[in-house]
Structure 1
Amino acid sequence: MTDNTADAPSGTPAGTPAETPPAPLTLLGLGAMGTALAGAWLAAGHPLTVWNRTAARAEPLAAKGAAVAATAAGAVAANRLVVVCLLDDASVEEALSGVDLTGRDVVNLVTGTPGTARDRARWVTGRGARYLDGGIMAVPPMIGVPAAGPYVFYSGSRGSFEEHRAALAVPAGTRYVGEDAGLAALYDVALLSAMYGMFAGVAHAFALVRAEAVDPVGLAPLLSSWLTAMTGSVAATAGELAAGDYTRDVVSNLAMQVAGVPTFLRTAEEQGVSAELLSPYFELMRRRLAEGSGEESLTGVIDLLRT
């Protein structure tokens, strides 16, 4: 009979598997995001090897226990899991050019396009490594702070993701979106595009009141609560797209909303504010009304954006 207690750590009940120690990994790139990632992994006890083109950036991390590699090749050789957080895709190619990637799992967290991610995946897998692309939905102060809600979209090798999920989840939550390496970048840019659209609307709103006796600090919570209330339309739009029916349960139809456009444009003119942030969307609304049904919601505008 095998003695199951022989290798049990002190204090571990017989038959209880020992806890897996934090996995070692390599991080290339110590900008603001890379440094935040490194700090989270070190705080969680992961043996970490780092490399940065400007070596001085690694000194604070070395003081916290990180091993500092003199070259990118040396850093890659140190561990199977290699996370890349450099400036851009050109920096990734420069850092890894000529480096032996055989048997490595490369996780690329550089913001790029879906096409760039697919090209980089072919470049990496062609050199004997598995590839994951990542889109970080967080800013550096959110990293390592679960309550802040940070997460990263991942796409590419499912096997690599599953094997390293625990380590990848330390600095931020993980959301795997598919084997197609370009999907993480697509999700990333889709969400950020919506964010910039919101920023445009907020900018226009503040511009309208800028010349009046309106306290922007007092207006801010009203804007925030209104935008929060309007987020319910996201699910409704998704449902209409999935069903192919843009007329179900419509409250404010396209015809009604187009009829209101002159009021927005006149108000902007009266306030001495350019309507350039809103005019393109209003023009799409008018086009959709001319081509479709006034009983639709605004969802049909999406079809006009496809080129």
Structure 2
Amino acid sequence: MNHNTETPVTVIGLGLMGQALAGAFLKAGHPTIVWNRTSSKADHLVAQGARLAPTIGDALKAGSLTIICVTDYPALYELLGANEVELEGTMLINLTSGSSSQAREAARWAEQRGTRYLDGAIMAIPSAIGTADAVILHSGPQADFAAHESTLGALGTVTYLGADPGLASLYDVAGLAMMWSILNAWLQGTAMLRTAGVDAATYAPFARQIATVVAEWLPGYAEQIDSGSFPAEISALETDTRAMEHLIEESEAVGVNTELPKLLKTMADRAIAAGHGKEQYPVLIEEFGKLRKD
């Protein structure tokens, strides 16, 4: 992809992530305008060639697109909603962390002020910004993403998810659910094996192999979920619950926490009670899709 380094970019918010974003644009050769409530946070960026805008309004006018990365959405509204700030005609890309409903509301808020808006989520730590390892998710109008995709490429691997502004936030938390679930499962197994003198480093390669094998099941399982049909091609849910019982019993026997395996079995038992025992594990999507308040 051609990368037009002449495009001026504004970065508002110079916390650790904002500084990394501005630094990546500078490194890629973009004229980079920065603004932060505490202007001293811009000093080292200015030393690298960034221009510190005197006001947030000046910062917005100076860039072809504006990246904002602040503490939260209330901070975004406080900064951009001030009377002296003119938003009409600007291209705003919001990389502030928040919920999907906040992202959709911000998109409506921006549209009412004549602002083009993309919401985004950063799936990376600050030190990875500017490398292919930094995955930046974007959602909102496709034309706006396409117009600025090459510029955004300075930040890392940019991905467009769809027109719904809330998708980036939803993918973000869905990714966190994957991360914590994998880590928690590994910690459960590690805790069990440590009781037999097996250290975490010894178990980790085996755990990684299992995680990789299970990941290969996902496309096929996704087809079952999307079709609403769950034939037991590998094993029936009622068979899986017997293995869950074994996991609980073994955890108890070696003196390891049983909360996680008991939670899994509770959900499986509910699905079986609802008549899904002969179906395959992905039928549990019905349980995951329900909000329980008990």
TM-score norm. by structure 2 comes to 0.92
Does the 8 Å contact 1:80/1:103 carry over to 2? no
Structure 1 residue 69 displacement after superposition:
2.0
* 1:278 aligned counterpart, secondary structure: helix
Aligned to 2:242: 259
Structure 1 residue 166 displacement after superposition:
0.8
Does the 8 Å contact 2:5/2:151 carry over to 1? no
Aligned to 2:226: 242
Aligned to 1:22: 6
Establish whether residue 139 from structure 1 lines up as the match of residue 128 from structure 2. no
Aligned to 1:105: 91
Look up the equivalent residue of 2:257 and give its one-letter code. Answer: S
Partner Cα separation in structure 2 for residue 272 and residue 19 of structure 1: 57
Aligned to 1:158: 142
Aligned to 1:200: 184
Structure 1 residue 262 displacement after superposition:
1.7
Partner Cα separation in structure 1 for residue 3 and residue 96 of structure 2: 32
Q: 1:20 to 1:33 in 2, by over 3 A?
A: closer
Deviations 1:4-48 (A, max 9, x none): xxxxxxxxxxxxxx9844310100112222222112111110000
Q: 1:110 to 1:298 in 2, by over 3 A?
A: same
Look up the equivalent residue of 2:253 and give its one-letter code. Answer: E
For residues 13-52 of structure 1, the aligned pairs below 5 Å read 20-52=4-36
Establish whether residue 275 from structure 1 lines up as the match of residue 258 from structure 2. yes
Query: Which structure 2 segments of 5+ residues have no match?
Result: none
Aligned to 2:60: 76
Partner Cα separation in structure 1 for residue 150 and residue 3 of structure 2: 12
Partner Cα separation in structure 2 for residue 71 and residue 179 of structure 1: 31
Does the 8 Å contact 1:136/1:151 carry over to 2? yes
Aligned to 1:116: 102
Partner Cα separation in structure 2 for residue 168 and residue 19 of structure 1: 9
Does the 8 Å contact 1:26/1:82 carry over to 2? yes
State the identity %.
35
Does the 8 Å contact 1:201/1:278 carry over to 2? no
Q: 1:20 to 1:302 in 2, by over 3 A?
A: closer
1:167 aligned to which of 151, 155, 175: 151
Q: 1:21 to 1:304 in 2, by over 3 A?
A: closer
Q: 1:21 to 1:80 in 2, by over 3 A?
A: closer
Partner Cα separation in structure 1 for residue 35 and residue 27 of structure 2: 18
Q: 1:19 to 1:294 in 2, by over 3 A?
A: closer
1:210 aligned to which of 179, 194, 216: 194
Does the 8 Å contact 1:135/1:152 carry over to 2? yes
Partner Cα separation in structure 2 for residue 293 and residue 21 of structure 1: 56
Partner Cα separation in structure 2 for residue 19 and residue 62 of structure 1: 23
Does the 8 Å contact 2:3/2:150 carry over to 1? no
Aligned to 2:48: 64
Q: Report which of the two structures shows the higher radius of gyration computed on alpha carbons.
A: 1
Partner Cα separation in structure 2 for residue 29 and residue 59 of structure 1: 13
Does the 8 Å contact 2:7/2:64 carry over to 1? no
Structure 1 residue 306 displacement after superposition:
2.2
Partner Cα separation in structure 2 for residue 33 and residue 123 of structure 1: 24
Deviations 1:61-115 (A, max 9, x none): 1111011123322211222311011111111112212221110011001121111
Establish whether residue 301 from structure 1 lines up as the match of residue 255 from structure 2. no
Does the 8 Å contact 2:276/2:283 carry over to 1? no
Deviations 1:199-235 (A, max 9, x none): 2212212222334411211111221122112111211
* 2:154 aligned counterpart, secondary structure: coil
Q: 1:92 to 1:19 in 2, by over 3 A?
A: closer
Partner Cα separation in structure 1 for residue 221 and residue 79 of structure 2: 43
Does the 8 Å contact 2:190/2:199 carry over to 1? no
